[in-house]
Amino acid sequence: MRHIFQQGSDPAAPVLVLFHGTGGTEMDLLPLAQAISPASSVLSIRGNVLENGMPRFFRRLAEGIFDEEDLIFRTTELYNFLDQAAVENGFDRRNLVAVGYSNGANIAGSLLFHYPDALRGAILLHPMVPRRGIALPDLTDVPVFIGAGRNDPICSPEETVELEELLSTAGANVHVHWEAGGHQLTRSEVIAAAEWMKDSLQ
């Protein structure tokens, strides 16, 4: 998968794995990584599905309606890519914290929904429920930060609560940070994510 890797100054700090939103690239969230954990190494990945020329991490049939078969396929592909990237770049595979926005938060959520050991933690910014009707793996004590907007028309507050409940029931330590706005990424949620990261993972 197309990606960039930047070596951080602290080899023990979690490696941030960045997943952009629809139409983004691996460059988009680099400033966020710097704000959230400046000493961390960063692996930033470009989604390898194109929708009208816009990169995404999996196909969708319409806004908010996912192509489940493709989502499963892409989740496995990504899991295997993380294994391979760890070997190639010499980082600890068990020390990955995802930072994803929108479609990127959904693929990171899907990694959590399918594997007990894909991620050490996750920062999901405006995520949806990636799949319903499946048993989640054991996520005991996996720290998860969810950034959500009370007026988000794409990721409704009800869906945020549903996601929080599904992850918590699987054992994850979920913290939801609410913003008053919509689907946009805000500076205050990034600051909140950075504080959460210090408290939960360093």
Interface residue list for ligand MLT (CB under 6 A): 21-22, 60, 102-103, 106, 154
Q: What's the closest the beta carbon of residue 140 comes to ligand MLT, in angstroms?
A: 27
The one catalytic residue in 28, 41, 152, 177 is 152
Active site residue 67: no
Whether 40 is catalytic:
no
Q: What distance in Å separates the CA atoms of residue 131 and residue 63, rounded to the nearest whole number?
A: 15
By beta-carbon proximity to ligand MLT, the closer residue of 36 and 71 is 71
Comparing every residue's Cβ against ligand MLT, the nearest one is: 103
Give the Cα separation of 174 and 118 in Å (integer).
17
Distance of CA 198 to the CA centre of its chain: 17
Cα gap 158→16, rounded to integer Å? 28
Q: Which residues contact 64 (CB under 8 A, 6 or more apart)?
A: 128, 154
Look at residue 103 and give its three-state secondary structure: helix
- Marked catalytic residue, from 102, 114, 126, 177: 102
| Distance in Å, CB of 39 to ligand MLT, minimum | 29
Indicate if 102 belongs to the active site.
Answer: yes
Nearest-approach distance from CB 102 to ligand MLT, in angstroms:
4
Residue with tokens 């994850």: 172
CB of 153 to ligand MLT, least distance (A): 9
The minimum distance between CB 58 and ligand MLT, in angstroms, equals 7
CB contact burial 30-42 (16+ within 10 A = b; e otherwise): bebbeebbeebbb
d(CA 72, CA 91): 25
Of 54, 44, 49, the closest CA to residue 67 belongs to 49
User: Which residues are the active-site residues?
Assistant: 102, 152, 183
